[in-house]
Structure 1
Amino acid sequence: MSQRKALKIIVIAQFLGTSLWFAGNAAAPQFSAVLGEENLIGWITSAVQFGFILGTLTFAIFSIPDRYKPSDVFFFSAVMAAAFNLLLAVIPPSFWVLISGRFLVGFFLAGIYPVGMKIAADYFEKGLGMALGFLVGALVLGTASPHLIASLDFNVSWKLIFWSTSLFAILGGAMVGFFVPDGPYRKPLGQFDWNLIPSLLKIDSLKSAATGYFGHMWELYTFWAFCPALILYFQDGSNPSNLTSFIAFSVIGIGGISCAIGGWFSEKYSSRSVALFALAGSGICCLAVLLIPEGSIWIWISFLLIWGILVTADSPQFSTLVAQSVPAEFKGTALTLVNCAGFALTIFSIALADFLLGKLEIQEILALLAIGPVFGIVGFLYFDKKKRLSTKASSSI
């Protein structure tokens, strides 16, 4: 199969599969009415995140994406995630059924998102930054979709949401499982090795890429989570809620486009350059949020759109650097492990921001997110320098 055809299938399949991620968010208002529970979105989102973290940790520890055929792992994970998603529509709803179901959906999403990147890495030795730009862009658009649904005031049954997203996921899984063979650069890992992860953690190029990714993740999900609150703050209640949702969709969704554009630039300049430029740019936005005058809402919308572009463009490029930092037979494990740690970090970042809410202004809270880009850039350059010195020393022997 050609690279281009494989990439098209993987991108579409990944978008369909990851539609499960935010199905619960889209159905949260109706679940709140059915269960008589308020503030379910926080519980639903956290359940999926924790499930994904545990899932990626499990997949990484047992090297599942590298030991087994990745397209089979993708298909099996999509079917299982779809099944637990659909379960919420066919059994009597309750709070713990909802949270357990979303947790298990998150667990099996670990076999869709990072494994999709692993499959792309098996097809692209060159041009991987561009390929992952499209893949991550599809995930970003999926992330933004609940805000679009909210802005359109659709009154769709929550059961229809779960049925449709489950069917989408199964379709996506089948597309990869039946139509995407192993890529030409895949090297299967022979047997399970408890020492694999400790060995990977000694690689300076992996630590460099992973540290940059962690700095990016510290900022990304907290920015997305608090973006609607920032928009509301500067609207001063003067605009309807559906407009706020549409602005939030635009700010988050534009990042999907920037991921693809960043992938194109990575071909011309390198993944390293694009990743560092975007991370530095989004870090500057963290601080600039304190300096933007409280004037026209359009100034703020323009600023947030720029931030939305920069805050995501580095993600696929850091993932590209992760995949390129290890031997081919370890790519799936490395990508899954770094995803696990990165998403775990978002829990602490969001929790800290939530703790500070009410103690600081919303723009002051978001300004503190600059800690992530600063840490990411410094750590990236430190380990990158260690790698270069080590390579130079080895070549001089």
Structure 2
Amino acid sequence: MAEPTRLPAAPWTRRDDLAALVVALDPAGAGTCRWVGGAVRDTLLGQPVKDIDMATQSLPEQTLAALKAAGIKAVPTGIAHGTVTAVLAGGPVEITTLRRDVETDGRHATVAFATDWQEDAARRDFTINALYADPRTLAVSDWFGGLDDLRSRTVRFIGDAEQRIREDYLRILRYFRFQARFGGYPADAPAEAACAALAAGMKGLSRERIAAELLNLLGLPDPAPTVRRMAELGILAQVLPEADASALAPLITTERAQSVAPDALRRFAALLPAEPPLVEQVAARLRLSTAQRKHLAAVAQRSGSDADARALAYHIGRDEAVDRLLILGQSIAPLQDWSIPRLPLKGGQIVARGISAGPEVARILRAVESRWVAEGFPDDARVAQLLDETLAE
């Protein structure tokens, strides 16, 4: 019999608080709990692990009782669906009772608790997410070829792709996010075909879920090939019909050339036309936050006249200016190690020169400010000269 695949040594696998958690949940070493999902997948790929999830054969109430007995803080974050969060020194761990789907409607699933590991694995979306690891031996359990798919960089649905999508249409967008992060080309043909055939089903999803998934995709290192493929298959048009997929690759090239980190909202802005009213409509439709809407509207005002980086940043804000310049393919070097200055002139100083308080003061202040910005933000002495010149005029 072949030796089972084991997780390679990783910092999280040696954490004392996780070892104590395992003892609390499975003191007899009966194998009633296992690490599952992203932590297992990413460790096998040699990538950093962010979130740690555990699956258990114990019912949620039993999990809560075991954690309490061990003095580990527990939060019933999703107890109706079998999830309890253990609050540990090294970070929280979600512990979920094994489940099986009873009924699905394309958005939500009704589940029943189970004790069979393979049954729990079968309800997960992709083979690479259905890998479990024994917390003591680190031996990996794989019922659906996830290990082979990791090696070949294949993102593949478990079982029938169309059936899995009908259980939750958000899996279409999740598929493309995982394809952008882990997949190679050519992509899994049955997966792509199922996503294309059932794309219209995404219209029943909440807009917040769609927006979150899109932004998660766009925040990856290089989602451009995947977004282009989504457009070719008619997927992108279902959730973002205003998007121009071809605009993403040039932006990512510019980001890399200037050593700028990926930013999901910047890339979202690049996909949309430079039309503020339209962009505001899209942002409202997807239930984006007020701050996100304002940012997108400001970036949408980009034009070929955005050549003066510092003046642009002064008027609209540093982050908005950076995004506009990058989308236009321009340099942001003038903004590096530079802080936006404040005009060293107040209305009271103008009144002190004999100008009556009111609209005329505001007009003079704006005139001085305009010349100050145009001259590259000179010092206080020059501002005083600009005020003299403006008053003389």
TM-score higher than 0.5 here? Answer: no
TM-score (norm. length: structure 1): 0.24
Report which of the two has the higher share of helix. Answer: 1
Q: Comparing both structures, which one devotes a greater share of its residues to strand?
A: 2
TM-score (normalizing by structure 2): 0.24
